[in-house]
Amino acid sequence: MSGTGVRRPRRRGRSASSSRWLQRQHRDPLVRRAKEQGYRARSVYKLEEIDRRFRLLRRGATVLDLGAAPGSWSQYAAGRGCRVVAVDLLPMRSVEGVRFLRGDFLEEKTRARLHRMLGGGCDLVLSDLAPDATGRRTVDRLRAEAAAEAVLAFASSVLRPGGALVLKLLHGADTLVTGMARPLFGRCKLVRPAATRSGSTEIYLVGLDFRGGPAGAETGGEGNGG
């Protein structure tokens, strides 16, 4: 899913890396399966596995999907009977049962609008977002770490007691963020779903039974409880 990074100008032609990506997509059985089942991305199977293991998505629950585009996680959550609020920097085609906000989650004005859209809070925060990669390992780790901390802080301001969090992390950022999450949740688990690509360094933090309390300075400002 998309992240929160700066847009890049389009280039003419196709780079070697994009050609390799397209070839990999054509060979990937999960890409074909997602198309056959009407999902917009293969990443849906990561959420499906996490949901099957932890039973997170329950009919009538309110779910916040961060970094939602192209929308497969929102599709899955709505299909499970959840009320979904989704946000992404990129546009996303509408999904029945999903309210979508286009904006940069890392901007305060976007987070304030999300508070208003959620009203009384939510039961589950999903985050598959990640900043655009620069190719510099230390820089990418620090950016991913900062984004994950922002998600954790925001989640702590909107989750209802007993709520849950699914947060994508990159290797190297997991230790610090998991340590920050442990006091906020009854249980924290690190999960690498089977659908994760073999060369990926991503892992998911699953926080269960939210206890309440802040993680960082996020308070929701004027939008809280609107």
- 220 pLDDT more than 50: no
**Residue 65 belongs to domain spanning:** 45-213
What pLDDT does 59 receive?
Answer: 97
| pLDDT tens-place string over residues 90-108 | 999 999 999 999 999 999 9
Is 35 part of any domain? no
Above 50 in pLDDT, residue 48?
yes
**136 within a domain of the structure (yes/no):** yes
Between 18-22, 55-59, 127-131, 207-211, the lowest mean confidence (pLDDT) is in 18-22
Q: Give yes or no for residue 127 having a pLDDT over 60.
A: yes
Whether residue 21 is contained in a domain is answered as no
At 186, which CATH number?
3.40.50.150
Give the pLDDT of residue 215. Answer: 64
What's the average model confidence in pLDDT over 53-68?
98
Instruction: Confirm whether 224 is domain-assigned.
Output: no
* pLDDT > 70 fraction of the chain, expressed in percent and rounded: 83
pLDDT of 168 reads 95
Query: What confidence tens digit (pLDDT) does each residue in 15-43 have?
Result: 554 544 444 555 789 999 999 999 999 99
Confidence check: pLDDT of 61 > 90: yes
pLDDT, position 14: 52
1 in a structural domain? no
In a domain? residue 13: no
pLDDT of amino acid 25 = 53
Domain assignment present for 169: yes
**Domain annotation covers residue 139:** yes
Let me know if 168 is a catalytic residue. yes
The Cα–Cα gap between 50 and 165 comes to: 11
| pTM of the shown model | 0.83
What's the total number of domains in the chain? 1
Over residues 208-212, the mean pLDDT reads 94
**What's the pLDDT tens digit per position in 135-184?**
787 788 788 889 999 999 999 999 999 999 999 998 777 888 999 999 99
Say which of 35, 46, 109, 168 is annotated catalytic. 168
Min mean pLDDT across 95-99, 112-116, 204-208, 212-216 is at: 212-216
